[in-house]
Amino acid sequence: MKKIAITGATSGIGLETAKALYEKGNELIFLVRNIKKAEGLIKEWSGEDRVEIIECDLANLQSVRNAARQLLTTYTELDVLINNAGGTFEERKESKEGLELHFAINHMGHFLLVIELYSFLQKSNTKIINVSSEAHRAGKLDFNNLQLTHNYSVTKGYGNAKLCNILFTKSLAKRGFTSYALHPGIIDSGFGDNLSTPFKLLWKLGKPFMKSAREGASTSIYLAQNELPKALNGSYFKNKKPTHSSSDSKNEALQEKLWKYSEEIIAEKLNSNSNSKDF
């Protein structure tokens, strides 16, 4: 039995990942924004005592910090952390701290979660799994406009955030963690609900060709359950197999630049320079 924490566990592939891992006898920690929704879901599961719920709003850095601290005071070890939560937004929106919402939810909240748990995850030899997407190939990080205050598009926002997921994964592997990124596939879920009417129509037309949420969860489940060769550490997976990610995702200078940029945001937005460390 493994102890597994997962963000975004109340819908889509996150929920299907959680269900499958629960059915395999694992102990789960839901890191979720909506506690009542999570409680309602697990009431249907037998032996629900194997699921704990911690409030964690990835669009609110203080909430992420509080969640990490609660986890640290409750648990002595963690086998797997699945950074699954994500979202897409047709119009530019901002998090509580004024970060572009794709960047905030898909990358920055997960980055802070890992930083707050850094020593704990090291000690536990925790495997860190980051749910990315083939959309990362559309990502081009311009650090002068990473928050997309001008020339915003959903393609840029989502593509950049998913590229960040892979850059983060490879940075973690270089720092001694076991970490993988993955593409779950094009999923028939509520993922496109925030899109405008023309995009929603295209999304609906494509549904017959999409994977189910359970099928989309298969690679996350595979990575959580299996021990892989060290040579695959930091790899990007698709259909449970390692595959090539974009050239930008393999750029070590870009990996380090994103790490430093993310640390600077923590220092600025949480007014905690003492907590921003050069790991």
**What residue segments make up the domains of the chain, in order of their start?**
3-275
What pLDDT, on a 0 to 100 scale, did the predictor assign at position 49?
81
Which range of 4-13, 181-190, 211-220 scores highest in mean pLDDT? It is 4-13
**What pLDDT does residue 213 have?**
62
Q: Name the token pair of 93.
A: 């929106």
Catalytic residue numbers read: 158
pLDDT, one tens digit per residue, over 48-89 is 689 999 999 999 999 999 999 999 999 999 999 999 999 899
Third-level CATH fold of 3-275: Rossmann fold (3.40.50)
Query: How many CB atoms neighbour CB 68 within 10 A?
Result: 21
Question: Does residue 14 register a pLDDT over 60?
Answer: yes
DSSP codes of every residue in the chain: --EEEEESTTSHHHHHHHHHHHHTT-EEEEEES-HHHHHHHHTTSTTGGGEEEEE--TT-HHHHHHHHHHHHHH-S--SEEEE------SS--B-TTS-BHHIIIIIIHHHHHHHHTHHHHHHHT-EEEEE--GGGGG----TTSTT-SSS--HHHHHHHHHHHHHHHHHHHHHTT-EEEEEE--SB-SGGGGGS-HHHHHHHHHHGGGSBPHHHHTHHHHHHHH----GGGTT-EEETTEEE---TGGG-HHHHHHHHHHHHHHHHHHTT-GGG----
pLDDT at position 265, please?
Answer: 97
Averaged confidence pLDDT in the chain: 90
At residue 141 the predicted structure's pLDDT band, cuts being 50, 70 and 90, is: very high
pLDDT > 70: percent of the chain: 86
| Res. 243: pLDDT tops 90 | yes
Q: Please tell me the number of Cα atoms within 13 Å of 274 on its side-chain side.
A: 0
